[in-house]
Structure formats: structure tokens, C-alpha cells
Chain A
Amino acid sequence: MVKWMGSKKRTPPKFYIFNLIPFWMRIDHALDDLFTPESVAVVGASAKEGSIGYNLVRNIVEGGYAGKVFPVNPKYDEVHGLKCFKSTADLPHPADLTIMAVHADISNSMIEEACKNGARTFINIASGFGEVGRRDLEIKMREIVRKYGARVLGPNVFGVYSARASLNATFGLRNVVPGNVGLISQSGALGIALMGMTQNQGIGLSAVISIGNKADISECEALEYLGADDRTKAIFLYIEGTKDGRRLMEVASEVSKIKPIVAIKSGSSVRGALAAASHTGSLAGSDKIFTTALEQAGVLRALNLNDGFNWLRALSQLPIPGAEGVVVVTNGGGIGVMSTDSAERYRVKMLDNRDLFEKMFRKTMPDYGNASNPIDITGQGKNKEYGMAFDIALDEPKIPAIVGLYCQTADGKPMEIAKAAIDSAARSQHRKPITFSMVGGKGIRDAMDELNQAGIPCYGSPDEAMSAMGALYKRHRRLLEEKEEPVVFNDINLNAIQSIIDRAKEVGATNLIESDCNEILRLTGLQFPKSGVAGNLDEAVALAQKIGFPVAMKVLSPDIIHKTEFGAVRLDLEDEHEVRVAYESIMASVRSKMRNARIEGVIVTEMICEATETILGFSEDPSFGPVLMFGMGGIYVEVLKDVAFRVAPISGREVMKMIRDITSYPILAGARGKDFRDIDGISDAISRISYLATQVDDLVELDINPFMALDKGMGCKVVDSRMTIRPKEMKS
């Protein structure tokens, strides 16, 4: 049921006016009936305390829901003081939202009955579906709701919470604190626990959606909804896998432009058999691809719950800094140094303006204090000094953000310091973000709570405070990013590439032969070392002289695929004599191993010496489609697995990020006095492969290894490559 803007129930979020939301997000969402229903039916409502049917009704009623509640259960006349109906047919009118709290085996028939009686939006709480192998029940449920144009959340969920409607339609916690964080959880039990954690952390919730088995409504729709929900300032997503990674990326990309999404990804999805053969396939574990995809979509990926909630507190309460750079105000040198280390780790720039800071902050500290960042007001620093330092930092336009640190001291009064920080922040009208950390024992607990309640996130360690600041800066950079489209290469002849593939498919090939791989890559615009075919020894010598020494040589024979194993590859031949010996040795070696092998000659190739071996390719992920890989080649790819992934297609900016993502980037960038490699050449090649991967559906996997990066301005060259194509019957 899709309703357009102007529905009676929806208050249009104010940013609609500024047209910031894409068209598809401006529809009044089917999920409106999940979050702002005027009536709720609970099928399977129970008077038995402790049961799910009881807890649901209790939470809805006690949560302050103002709409009508219809418990449905033929066993009862009354549940939680409300009239209980025998069936959905008996309801005075169809409920906007029907919650199914019955056994999996009967839930489908009851959903169908409710549909017949006019219900169109469901939450199916029951477990016992796909998660225990009963995919058939899920498929059936989806068929039923589609038949009636209805929607269903679940199965295997704990419900939804909506601050807008004061609706706690979960069987989890009572007393949910309303606020501005939207929570989407794929896990039921963890979702309930996460709600509990938000209570402990003082994070208020705008909405909670348990998405469970996602038979119909997925995390994408939940994200869309929360993205458009003006009450939600930040979104927390717990996810284990997705059926449509590309769609999730698209939605997350759009939503993350408007509000921050913090995600915890755990577990791993099922990998298709297609993505296993090459390096690209074997290195691209699904978890890594998922993480990459989320990051590409501007989602902040937390590795643990602690980080996730720490970031959420900052993101949901603080303004995003206007520029790069923080000042740390501390009363202890040690924690100051710790915060500096953390700043580097979380890519937070420590402002460095000794003269200015000396002039500004000297008055806040004794002589032996340190007025360079971190601003160390020393253990003598009390609320007055803290307040003064904060005021200075908040007033100074060159300081965009502040991290406050406090080390518990013998005579310190942490509460007074907290109040000083709160007063300063209030005076500055919370224009700049402040994160705080108090380190110490019991004595600081109340002060920390005071800060948190006043909207200054306070953490137990300098690292956490800086990590939260790092999240704000990630957000800052995301907001500055202008949309950049992937490059379109009109010079790539896609038809010619497709005909090479079609030819190979005709003969039933799934792996392309070397000459076809090379031709496709040539058409894609990649460069190759100079090479040629020689039919005999004298031709080989002449060719080597024409190409220029050193050269490499390998046999050209349709019978010999594994050339190295047949002793048919010779490298680094520096003169005519070495070419002659190599030629003779290849022929002797091949004849001794396969006397009747058809030898058409040898391939003589330019030997690339002054270059860095890299690996470039893509593989197809069942969920995200083509995933690009770039990294260091040779031993680096085998042992160190120093590679970066991106879901294709990617823009030029993302290509550069990808190149810089690899640990060995300094080697490419000219470490230890060596020249820069041709980063522009690498970047162009990645963009071209990204275009190829997304434009030619029949290409399933590509592995260019080694891909030699030459000196700046000299380009990159393909030395060896492998390609897998989609067999005829597998065309998607």
C-alpha cells in the first residue's frame, strides 16, 4: 500500500520543503502503518503473564499508545483490561496494524483470514520459519500478503517501537526512552538487548525495527523510512547479511547524505560458487565486501557495540564540526598523550598553532603548564581553569572542535568541572562539538552522568572520546563529499568485447584463453608490454633485438597450457646468446615432456624490470555484484593479502581512496627514495575495469596478476590475466 504525500497521518518532515530527499523517498511509506497506526490488533493476545501475547498488549497499553488496541484470541474475553475479540472478523473495523503472535504453523492462515477482513499491515512475531529451514512457510506468507496487496514485517521479530505514536509494539523492554536514534536490528534477542543498552547509555530512541527473516519488508525499507523520519537524527543498524546488497548500498548512500548511519555487521553471507577460482575471488571474503560496501555508502561501520553506541551518542547529540582540527583540554599529560595517539588512529587532526595557543591559553594554567595542543592546564586546573579554557576554545573561530579530558585528582571536584564544561557549552549555544572523558574511580560517575544528560557525551577513556570525535569527523567529510559519478569510457568498444565472449560461449568455454583475455583488456584500454611471436630461433633473436633487452620468452603451443610446468618460460634474457640458449632450452624441455606437442613458436615479450607488481581484478559477489580488487602483487597478495575492495562502479575519487587504502601504498608513492609509480595510470586502469565489470554482464571474474605499475607517467602494463565468463545457461 503506497500512499502519497499528504496522507492524513503524516506530518511531512521539514526537509521535504528544501527538496533534499530524493523522489523515491518522498512517498508516504507503507511502513507508516507500522509506526503510526491508528489501531493495532494483537492476534494471539494472552492474559497469561510472561507470554509474548501478554507482553505485547501490556507494552502497547502501558507505553502510552493513544490509538485503539484490539486483542484477538478466542480463549479470552478480556486481556489487560481490554475487550478481547474472537477473530479479526469480529473487529469493529480492520486494524491499521495487525501483530501476529501465534505459532508459525497457523500464522499464515491467520494472516490470510485477517487480509480477507481488511488488514493490510502485519508484524509476524513467530519464529520457526526460514531460520529453522522452513523457507516454504516464508514463501507462502509472502504469497498471501502479495495476493492482498498487504505488507508484513518478519517473521521471527520482536516488533517495532515508534516514539511518534508512543507505540511500543514489542514484547521486549518497557519504559523505552523516546529520543532521536532509530534502531534497526536483524537479530531479535540482540535487538531487545540493544534497546536495553540505549537505556543504560542515555540514548533516546525514535524508532526500533526488528527485521528478522525479512520475508517481505527489508532493512532497505526500514532505512528509507528512518531516513525520511524527522524525529530520527541518527540510525543504528545491526545486520548479519543481506539478500540485495546493491539495493542496500543505494538506500544507505542516499540516507547517509541526510543523517548518520552506524552499522555493526557480523556473521557472513553465503558465497556463490562463482567467486572462488582466482585471487580476486578467494581474497574477497563476503564480510570484507559487506564492510567495503557499507563504507562506500557512507555508513560508519563499528567493530563492536561499545564503539557503535559511543559514536551514536556523539552523532545524535552534537553538531558536526565545521572544519578539520581539534583542541584537547586536559589536566594530565598522560591522558593528553594518549588522546594524541588516538587522534592519529581515528584520523582526527590535532591543531598545531603553538604561538596562538600560547597567547590564548597561557592564562588558564600555571607556568609549568603546556599551552601547545593538548592544552595541559595541569593537575592544578579546577573548574575555573577548565571553564576559561573551554570558553576560549569555543569562542576561537580557528578551533572547530574540543575534546575535554579530566584525570581524577586527590582534591579535584569533578562535578564542578562538569558543570563548567556544561556552562561553557551552553554559553556557546552548542555550536561546536565537545566530547569529554573522565578517568578515575567512583568519584567521577555523577559528573559523567551530568555531562551526558547535558548533551556532552562523556566517556571512560580518552580513546573513546577521540573515537567519538573521529566519527563526527567521518560524518563531516561525508557531508563535504560531492556526488561524483563513475567515469564512462566511450572509447571502450563494448560490442567488440561482447563478441569475443560470445565466441567463447559458443564453444562452451568458461575461462577465456590468453589471446582473448588480452584482446578484451586491450579493448578496455589497458597497456601490455611489447611482444611478438617468433616462428623460429632466428626470428626470436630478431624480435628480441627489436623489442630491446631484457626480454622474456615462452612457448606458443595449443597443447601446453601450464607453460611453467613444462619448463617453457624463460625470463630476463639480456643478450642474443641468452635468447638463443633460452629458445633451445624451451624446445628441448617441451620435447622431452611432450614429444608430439604442436609448437607454433615462441612469444617474446619486453621484460618489465623497474616496476611494482600489483594485482587488479574483480569478482562477482552474489549479493553485491561485481567487486573490484586492487592490491600489491607477488608475495604481497599471497602472504600479506594487502588488497582493497570496492563494489563497482566507483568514481575517480573512490578509486584514489581505494589505492590509498592498501597498507603498502607508500611503496607506490615512492618510499625510501624510490620514484613514484604511475598512480594516475593505476587509477585509470581501475576506473576502466570498474566500467568493464559493470557494463559486461557476462564477465564474472577477472584477475590481472601481475599488473606492473611503472614509473610516474609511464603507465601500467598487464603481464598476465585470467577471465571467467558466465556460461550460457547461467546468464542472470
Chain B
Amino acid sequence: MKKLIVTSTRTYGGKTAIGMGIALNSGRKVGYLKPVGDRPVYEKKKLIDLDVKLFVDWLDIGHELEECCLGFEDEGLTSTIEKQGLAPALCQRMEMVSKDSELAIIETGRNYSFGGSFSLDSGSLAKELDSEIILVAEGDPNLIIDKVLAASRTFKTQGAGLAGVVVNKIKEDEMDDLKSQIKPAFDKEGIKLLGMVPYIPQLDVMTASLVLEKLHAKLVAGSKGIDKKIDSVLVGALSADAAMKMAAFQTQNKMLITGGDRVDLIIVSLTAETSGLVLTNNILPHPRVLAKAEQLDIPVLSVPMDTFTTAKMVEHMVAEIRPEDEEKRALIAEKVKNSIDIDALI
């Protein structure tokens, strides 16, 4: 059975999409393990990782969600490791989730060093589980080479095998240019470039529905527009007049975060260009304002936090691939298939 550890040079590099793309195109029965979870969801008194849920759902993996993750980076995981010992705990879980599988995808959290304090970083995992690493690199083109080389040297020191690197989220027009820079540098170090996957904008779409869930907000109007795309987020601390003069305020698909008492700003933002309003401090405007938002299908979310805290939370929000996003599944499969020689890999 082929075992592949999918990790990345940085958080939100696209590990899940690449791992999923490989699994979907492998034509084999796939097992999945995420030793240290980093996307916790508490559902029906169970703590699960959202990526685990995605793999179990899309690949029809017949395991309980809790089985595919050892734990999260806290006392729970420490206590599991302390009780059983790291190697037995990890191997036992690997065996459990990969039983009858021909390919096992092992996904790390965040980046390749994540889990290091539990000796569950990518290099340690690869050694313990006798598997190869796929490193997903993304971000500033100038830094990709540096980061990959650093990671590769770490793996080498640890005695872990690197199957190759997938460079992800590349804009189509930069593809050739980037390849001509990266390939020679990788070749020189003996690192295999597995493929270059283009940026898929549809995977990055943020919606009011995501904000609603992440902020534990209350939806007070405009439920029909809850899945509208959000391209930009504005924090409304300025006057309505000043806001209307801003170019950003006139853009399509914007979301505004402002205090519920800023009626002037709320009213001028109630146009078709707005994809959502987040009203802070638990203050709601007059019902007529909400009725107008309802009429225009602009979702209005109410949160108890102040505007600054809310804005910070939204800033750190990243669009996720969720089990219910079926349209993203085909997209991921297609883009990965066109970019990586999967047969050669597995």
C-alpha cells in the first residue's frame, strides 16, 4: 500500500485540495489519516476535524470521523500519547484507517513542522509510517524555492523521503515563468517537481454563510442572499459621505462590518453591490432598515463583539472546502489531474 504524507510550506497552502485531487484521480481505495487536527468542529458531542469530514464524505471512507485523527494539539493528544506511547498509537491508528486500502493519504496540519512538539511533524511521520512526503508549496514566488529547499534539507536530516513538490495556486500567466525559475533550482537539489497546479478562484470564495458560522453570528435579515460571493471586506468607521467617496465602497460583492448604530452607513450600503453586512455590538438598526435588507436579499449578521474584534476575526477567515461543496469536487479532480502525473506518483 502506497502511503503519502501531504504537507506544505505554509498554512492554507492547499494540502487538502492536492491530497483530495490525488485521491480522487488514483482510482484506488483510499485510506485517510490526519494525525494532528487543526480544523476542529464540535458536532453531536464529538470533536472532529473538518478535513477528516471532507475525506470521509467525498471518498466514502468507511471509518468513524474520530478514528481518522489522533487528536488536536492539546492535553487530549498528550494524554493519548502518554498512555499508549507515540509509535504504537500512531501505527495502530494508521493500520485501522488504511485497512483494505491501496493508497493512504496522511495529511498534516498547517505546515511541515506542525506537530513537532508531539514528534508528529511531517519528517517524523514519514519515518515512523514509512511513507513519502508530498510538499505543497505556495505563496510568494521568490520564497518558494527557499522554503522548499529548507524543508527538503530538514527531511533529509530526519531521514525522511520526499516524493516531490507540488507548486500550487499559480496564476495561469505566471506559470511558464515560474516553472523556468523553479525547475532548475529543484533539479540541482535533486527535488522532483510533481506538478504545478493553477489557482482555482472558485475554491477561495467567501460567503456570508461562512462568516455566519465562523462568528457564531445571528442572521437577522436577507437569508436568501446568504451564499452570495464576498470579494472584499470593508470596516465601516467612517461617515456615510466619506464612505461613498471611496472607490472600495463602490465595488461589487463587498461585505461591510460596522456598528449596528451606524444607520447612515448601513443605509448607503444597502445596494445590489453589497453581499453582506456584519453589525457589531449586538445593536440592530430600525426594523425598516432590516426590511430593506431583506427585500434586497442582503444578509445582515449581528454579533456581540466590537467592530475591531469582528474585523480581526473576519481577516483571519479563509474559505474552506466543505463536504457540501460538491461543485468544488469536480474542479479539484480536474485541475489536479491536468497538473500532476498521478500514476507515476503512486
Contact = CB atoms under 8 A, between A and B. Distances in A.
Interface string B253-284: 00000000000000000000000000000000
Interface in A564-618: 564-567, 570, 572-573, 578, 580-585, 587-589, 591-593
A588 B75 contact: no
B303 A565 contact: yes
A584 B305 contact: no
Contact of B79 (A537, A562, A582): A537
B317 to A, nearest CB: 10
A536 interface: yes
Contact of A589 (B42, B46, B71, B305): B42
Contacts of B46: 581
A583 B76 contact: yes
Nearest to B310: A565
B38 interface: yes
Contacts of B73: 588, 591
Interface string A548-565: 000000000000011011
A581 B45 contact: yes
Contact of B216 (A564, A578, A582): A564
Contacts of A537: 74-76, 79
Interface string B196-226: 0000000000000000000111000000000
B40 A585 contact: yes
B216 A584 contact: no
B42 A587 contact: no
A583 B217 CA distance: 23
A652 to B, nearest CB: 37
B164 interface: no
Interface in B60-111: 71-76, 79
A513 B304 CA distance: 16
Interface in B21-59: 37-40, 42, 45-47
Given A567-B216, A578-B45, A536 B37 contact: no
Contacts of A591: 73-74
A585 B47 contact: yes
B346 interface: no
Given A564-B216, A565-B215, A583-B76, A588 B45 contact: no
B72 A588 contact: yes
Contacts of B238: none
B305 A588 contact: no
B345 interface: no
Contacts of A572: 45
A584 B45 contact: no
B313 interface: yes
Interface in A254-305: none
Given A564-B216, A578-B45, A584 B304 contact: no
Contacts of B38: 592
Nearest to B71: A584
B215 A588 contact: no
B75 A584 contact: yes
Contacts of B71: 584
Interface residues of B, number: 22
Nearest to B304: A562
B76 A580 contact: yes
A536 B304 contact: no
A584 B76 contact: yes
B72 A584 contact: yes
Interface in B288-346: 303-305, 313
Contacts of A561: 304
Interface residues of A, number: 25
What is the interface of chain A mostly: helix, strand, loop, or mixed? helix
Given A537-B76, A585-B42, A589-B42, A565 B47 contact: no
Nearest to A540: B75
Contacts of A582: 42, 45
Contact of B47 (A564, A573, A581): A581
B216 A587 contact: no
B218 to A, nearest CB: 10
B216 A588 contact: no
Contacts of B303: 565
A114 B75 CA distance: 87
Contact of B74 (A564, A578, A584): A584
Given A565-B215, A565-B216, A565-B303, A573 B45 contact: yes
B75 A565 contact: no
A593 B72 contact: no
Given A578-B45, A581-B46, A587 B75 contact: yes
A589 B216 CA distance: 12
A572 B71 CA distance: 22
A593 B40 contact: no
Nearest to A562: B304
Contacts of A587: 72, 74-75
Contacts of B75: 536-538, 583-584, 587
A572 B45 CA distance: 9
A578 B303 CA distance: 28
A570 B46 CA distance: 11
Contacts of A593: 313
Interface in A500-555: 536-538
A592 B40 contact: yes
B185 to A, nearest CB: 33
A145 to B, nearest CB: 43
Nearest to A581: B47
A583 to B, nearest CB: 7
Interface in B171-186: none
B42 A570 contact: yes
A593 to B, nearest CB: 7
B51 to A, nearest CB: 13
Given A588-B37, A588-B40, A588-B47, A565 B304 contact: yes
B12 to A, nearest CB: 13
A585 B47 CA distance: 6
A226 to B, nearest CB: 43
A560 B40 CA distance: 18
Contacts of A564: 216
Given A581-B47, A593-B313, A562 B42 contact: no
Could you say which of A561, A566, A582, A587 has the most chain B C-beta atoms within 10 Å of its C-beta? Answer: A587
Given A566-B216, A588-B73, 16 more contacts: A537-B74, A538-B79, A562-B305, A564-B216, A565-B217, A565-B303, A570-B45, A581-B46, A581-B47, A584-B72, A584-B74, A585-B47, A587-B75, A588-B72, A591-B73, A592-B39
26 contacts: A536-B75, A537-B75, A537-B76, A537-B79, A565-B215, A565-B216, A565-B217, A567-B42, A572-B45, A573-B45, A578-B45, A580-B76, A581-B46, A581-B47, A581-B76, A584-B74, A584-B75, A585-B42, A587-B74, A587-B75, A588-B37, A588-B73, A591-B73, A591-B74, A592-B40, A593-B313
Interface of A: 536-538, 561-562, 564-567, 570, 572-573, 578, 580-585, 587-589, 591-593
Interface of B: 37-40, 42, 45-47, 71-76, 79, 215-217, 303-305, 313
